[in-house]
């Protein structure tokens, strides 16, 4: 029965994803949907940790994890993208297809990413392509920033710009399946050497989080900024160590 403990968390992740879709499409309650995606992300973190701790990791859990992620980190962030595109300059008449094509692209690229991850044996301590939870957290952050009336206008304006939103949807959709090495946060040892990029990322993320809380009182500002920082540090690490990585 131990193997079902992490599996229940995985199913909780999938359930959160479905409920997020319900709150977006049926209730137009984007904030509740975002919190549900965040809870699903926590389930996604702890199901793997528990599986390894209880020594019950197996093929069933791996498949369940990807199927749950397709809902919570594929369909749900695509729905957020759709919501933001509809809400941005809502007074302007826009053909329906324009608001659907980019969310559909996110779903398709997310499912492709998850399928590739399941058969790619290289992705143990790092990733090849943007992880789907990272993409989901970006859209979660964008939605929560979009609805925060207490933030300065210059921090919110980009979430009201259809072109910016479409560019991000296209960019992250491509990055999900781009064969680009990105760093993971699994430590093989705790020393500085070999983990510089991880410690720099974690330290920078904490600094941004503290700054965001002290100045704006908003934790969701962190997600889009940290994702962009993650990509920058990963790319810098790749070029600094490309000869070792290629071997």
Distance CA 115, CA 224 (A): 25
pLDDT for 51 = 86
pLDDT for 13 = 96
* Residue range 4-185, CATH number: 1.20.120.1760
Of 204, 241, 244, 242, the residue nearest 225 (C-alpha): 204
Task: Kindly state the helix (H) or strand (E) to which residue 162 belongs, with its residue range.
Answer: helix 162-177
Per residue of the chain (247 residues), give pLDDT as tens: 777 889 999 999 999 999 999 999 999 999 999 999 999 999 998 988 888 888 888 888 889 999 999 999 999 999 999 999 998 766 566 777 778 999 999 999 999 999 998 888 777 667 889 999 999 999 999 999 998 888 888 889 999 999 999 999 999 999 999 988 898 877 667 788 878 888 998 999 999 889 888 888 878 888 999 999 999 998 888 887 765 555 4
pTM metric for this prediction: 0.89
Task: Kindly state the helix (H) or strand (E) to which residue 49 belongs, with its residue range.
Answer: helix 30-53
Total number of residues shown for the chain: 247
pLDDT for 89 = 63
- Within 43-201, strands assigned E span 126-128, 181-183
Q: What does the block give as tokens for 58?
A: 């197996």
Query: 183: which strand partners?
Result: 126
């Amino acid at each position: 029965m131990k193997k079902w403990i992490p599996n229940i968390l995985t199913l909780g992740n999938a359930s959160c994803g479905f409920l997020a879709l319900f709150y977006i499409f049926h209730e137009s309650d984007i904030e509740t949907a975002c919190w549900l995606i965040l809870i699903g992300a926590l389930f996604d973190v702890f199901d793997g940790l528990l599986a390894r701790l209880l020594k019950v990791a197996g093929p069933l859990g791996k498949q369940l994890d990807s199927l749950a992620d397709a809902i919570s980190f594929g369909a749900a962030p695509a729905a957020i993208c759709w919501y933001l595109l509809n809400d941005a300059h809502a007074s302007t008449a826009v053909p329906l297809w324009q608001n659907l094509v980019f969310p559909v692209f996110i779903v398709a690229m997310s499912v492709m990413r998850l399928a590739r991850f399941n058969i790619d044996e290289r992705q143990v301590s790092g990733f090849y392509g943007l992880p789907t939870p990272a993409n989901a957290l970006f859209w979660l952050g964008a939605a929560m920033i979009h609805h925060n009336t207490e933030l300065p206008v210059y921090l919110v304006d980009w979430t009201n710009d259809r072109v910016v939103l479409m560019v991000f949807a296209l960019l992250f959709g491509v990055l999900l399946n781009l064969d680009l090495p990105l760093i993971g946060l699994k430590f093989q040892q705790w020393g500085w050497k070999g983990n510089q990029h991880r410690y720099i990322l974690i330290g920078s993320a904490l600094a941004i989080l503290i700054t965001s809380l002290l100045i704006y009182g908003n934790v969701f500002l962190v997600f889009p900024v940290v994702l962009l920082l993650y990509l920058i540090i990963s790319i810098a690490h790749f070029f600094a160590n490309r000869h070792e990585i290629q071997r």
